[in-house]
């Protein structure tokens, strides 16, 4: 597992990926800070010239004043240009870093087992990918150049002040040091760090609960629920409110003191200046110096305010980066360096035992226990059994969504752990019970099965899946956008699009997880035609609750409590008079179920 730095070290480590651009951003920021301080010096020299000729203003050297006015204007223009160039460099660096970081995160999540995603809220992952990554852009593009500019401005101002009068500079530094001490006290407070962490936990939980609330909106409306009765989201909002209030209360005294001290710089400068003037009342140069300090000293508050905001944002950013790193530190499924490619495509379970212990479900019992079977090419192998018997888990192990605890899943005699994921995914097609279609065009959704396919091949797959007809009737045909903000399809239509995707992929192994479960009679017939085209000459593994759909399967495996208790064809299992026979009897008897009046009561 990769170990990352924490805090400022980790942020600088991330920023170092574009160090050249950020160095230029820093140089331009320092130049900007220096240029933007020059107009203040120009004002000082112009005022000095006027004060020296206070009795006869017409004697003031207009050339000198014009000279300093031109310097001020040119410095201002130079400062703006340097600020623009610094911002340009820092933004280019930030967007490159964000692009790579998001790509790295998504690729890493794609290499994790499904166990991580099933045990982690989508809202939490989404917040990390969006908001926490965006905060890094804020740090690199804005705050890093700002802090360099602020430090540069402060150094230039303090250097000028120290040159003019060291003791008055020391007086100005007293409130600044007090403010920095208050700021460091708030930053380094361990309780503050814990509150920030709790605040982020509450924010992530709100994201997770909100996603759940929106997804369950149909049930919320049907049962007359509101956000108050949807307890999880309501409690998360209350918790977030309470944490935010406590968080604000913790900093209010320190922040109030900080603002009072920072706003009182002149309170320190004036007594010192008056004391010095009282000792030398006729010293015009001292009056000029004091005037310069009265103009410049309040300006020292601006960099300190920026430092304060930077410190607050820094806590948020470092906490967000820690959550990004927590995802990156999740251990992906191990990959072999050299992939072993199978020459045949039979699927074999060799004494497989599997539980969810390694995926966040502590203490869970084995879902599969010493399961062995073989699915042959060109034949249909059906997995049936009661709910929770392990059949779907067995199917999910074939594309290596999880790794087995003991035993091995093999394709063509090769352990799938010795096949790289990209090769394994090219070998297995999976049509899920719950179809997922991307928020994109129908063409793109089908082409996802094989992005290199030609348009004619996509059309051919759609025809084979019995969905070309309804696609052609849509407003923009294959270019119709589906999903949120676009056109919605029925469940059966979505299933046929998913089958078209699998047909286009044309992988030698096909896993069908209850692919026709939610289809109506018409759509089921069309899906059966589509699946017939898809199954041709492949190793097919079917999970089904509708036993009639697998009646013609070449081999039926009956699961119960994680083990295979029966195996054979439909007729062989019926003759065996075991669990399958009981399931078949229950299935066929459902045709006799009727809705009617309660016994002893007449019709109303």
- Of residues 51 and 273, the one with the higher pLDDT is 273
Instruction: Provide the mean pLDDT of the chain.
Output: 79
- Dig out the tokens for 87 from the structure: 């911002």
Closest by alpha carbon to 111, among 405, 362, 424?
424
pLDDT at 1 over 50: no
Judged on CB neighbours under 10 Å (0-12, 13-18, 19+), 176 is buried
Mean pLDDT is lowest, of 30-34, 132-136, 530-534, for 530-534
Q: How far apart are CA 454 and CA 417, in angstroms?
A: 32
Q: How do residues 461-495 score in pLDDT, each as one tens digit?
A: 888 888 888 888 888 888 888 865 556 777 778 88
- Taking residues 147-158, report their average pLDDT: 80
Torsion of the alpha carbons at 394, 395, 401 and 404, rounded to the nearest 10: 20
Q: Fold for domain 347-589?
A: Rossmann fold (3.40.50)
SS in 3 state form for 86-133?
A: HHHHHHHHHHHHHHHHHHHHHHHHHHCCHHHHHHCCHHHHHHHHHHHH
Q: Which residues contact 311 (CB under 8 A, 6 or more apart)?
A: 183, 186, 187
Residue 76's pLDDT is what?
92
Q: How do residues 253-269 score in pLDDT, each as one tens digit?
A: 777 777 787 777 878 88
Q: Is 407 left (phi over 0), alpha (psi -120 to 50) or beta?
A: left
DSSP one-letter string for 539-551: EEEEE-S-GGGGT
- Dig out the tokens for 274 from the structure: 């008056």
Phi, psi of 128 (to 5 degrees): -65, -45
Answer yes or no: CATH 3.40.190.290 is held by domain 8-328: no
**Residue ranges of domains in the chain:** 8-328, 347-589
pTM here is 0.64
Residue 602's pLDDT is what?
45
Q: How far apart are CA 454 and CA 448, in angstroms?
A: 12
- What's the pLDDT band for 584 if we cut at 50, 70, 90? confident
Q: How far apart are CA 333 and CA 405, in angstroms?
A: 13
Using the 8-state DSSP alphabet, how is residue 360 labeled? Answer: T
- Of residues 325 and 204, the one with the higher pLDDT is 325
Closest by alpha carbon to 323, among 181, 553, 128?
128
Q: Please check whether residue 449 is in contact with residue 504, taking contact to mean a CB–CB distance below 8 angstroms.
A: yes
Closest by alpha carbon to 346, among 375, 383, 380?
375
């Amino acid at each position: 597992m990769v170990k990352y730095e924490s805090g400022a070290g980790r942020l600088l480590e991330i920023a170092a990926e574009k160090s050249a651009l950020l160095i230029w951003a820093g140089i331009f920021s320092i130049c900007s800070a220096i240029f933007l301080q020059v107009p203040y010096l120009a004002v000082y020299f112009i005022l000095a010239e006027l004060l020296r000729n206070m009795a006869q203003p017409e004697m003031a050297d207009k050339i000198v004043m014009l000279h300093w006015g031109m310097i001020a204007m040119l410095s201002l223009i130079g400062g703006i240009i340097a600020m623009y160039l610094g911002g340009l460099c820092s933004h280019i660096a930030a967007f490159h870093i964000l692009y790579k970081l998001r790509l790295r995160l998504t690729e890493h999540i794609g290499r994790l087992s499904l166990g991580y995603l099933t045990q982690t809220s989508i809202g939490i992952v989404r917040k990390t990918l969006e908001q926490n990554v965006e905060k890094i852009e804020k740090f690199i593009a804005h705050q890093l150049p700002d802090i360099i500019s602020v430090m540069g401005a402060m150094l230039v101002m303090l250097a000028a002040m120290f040159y003019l009068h060291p003791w008055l500079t020391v007086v100005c530094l007293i409130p600044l040091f007090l403010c920095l001490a208050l700021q460091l006290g708030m930053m380094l407070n361990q309780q503050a760090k814990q509150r920030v962490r709790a605040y982020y936990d509450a924010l992530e939980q709100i994201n997770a609960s909100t996603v759940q609330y929106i997804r369950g909106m149909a049930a919320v409306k049907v049962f007359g629920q509101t956000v108050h009765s949807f307890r999880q989201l309501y409690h998360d909002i209350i918790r977030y409110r309470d944490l935010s209030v406590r968080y604000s209360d913790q900093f209010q005294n320190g922040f109030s003191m900080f603002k009072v001290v920072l706003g009182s710089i002149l309170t320190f400068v004036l007594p010192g200046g008056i004391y010095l003037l009282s000792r030398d009342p006729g010293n015009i140069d001292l009056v000029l110096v004091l005037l310069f300090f009265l103009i410049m000293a309040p300006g020292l508050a601006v960099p300190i305010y920026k430092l304060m905001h930077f410190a607050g944002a820094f806590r948020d950013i470092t906490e967000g980066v820690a959550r990004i790193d927590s995802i990156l530190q999740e251990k992906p499924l191990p990959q072999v360096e050299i992939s072993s490619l199978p020459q045949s495509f039979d699927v074999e379970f060799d004494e497989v035992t599997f539980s969810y212990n390694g995926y966040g479900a502590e203490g869970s019992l084995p879902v599969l226990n010493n399961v062995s079977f073989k699915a042959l090419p060109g034949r249909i192998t059906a997995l049936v059994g009661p709910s929770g018997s392990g059949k779907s888990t067995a199917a999910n192990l074939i594309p290596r969504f999880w790794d087995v605890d003991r035993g091995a899943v093999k394709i063509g005699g090769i352990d799938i752990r010795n096949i790289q994921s990209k090769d394994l995914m090219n070998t297995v097609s999976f049509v899920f019970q719950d179809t997922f279609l991307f928020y994109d065009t129908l063409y793109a959704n089908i082409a996802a099965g094989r992005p290199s396919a030609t348009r004619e091949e996509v059309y051919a797959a759609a025809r084979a899946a019995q969905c070309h007809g309804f696609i052609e009737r849509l407003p923009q045909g294959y270019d119709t956008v589906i999903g949120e903000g676009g056109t919605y399809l029925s469940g059966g239509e979505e299933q046929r699009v998913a089958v078209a995707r699998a047909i286009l992929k044309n992988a030698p192994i096909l896993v069908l997880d209850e692919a026709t479960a939610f289809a109506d009679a018409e759509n089921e017939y069309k899906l059966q035609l589509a699946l017939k085209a898809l199954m041709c000459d492949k190793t097919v593994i079917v999970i089904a609750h509708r036993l009639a759909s697998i009646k013609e399967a070449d081999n039926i495996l009956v699961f119960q409590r994680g083990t295979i208790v029966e195996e054979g064809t439909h007729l062989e299992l019926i003759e065996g008079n075991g669990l399958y026979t009981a399931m078949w009897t229950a299935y066929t008897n459902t045709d006799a179920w009727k809705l009617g009046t309660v016994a002893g009561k007449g019709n109303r």
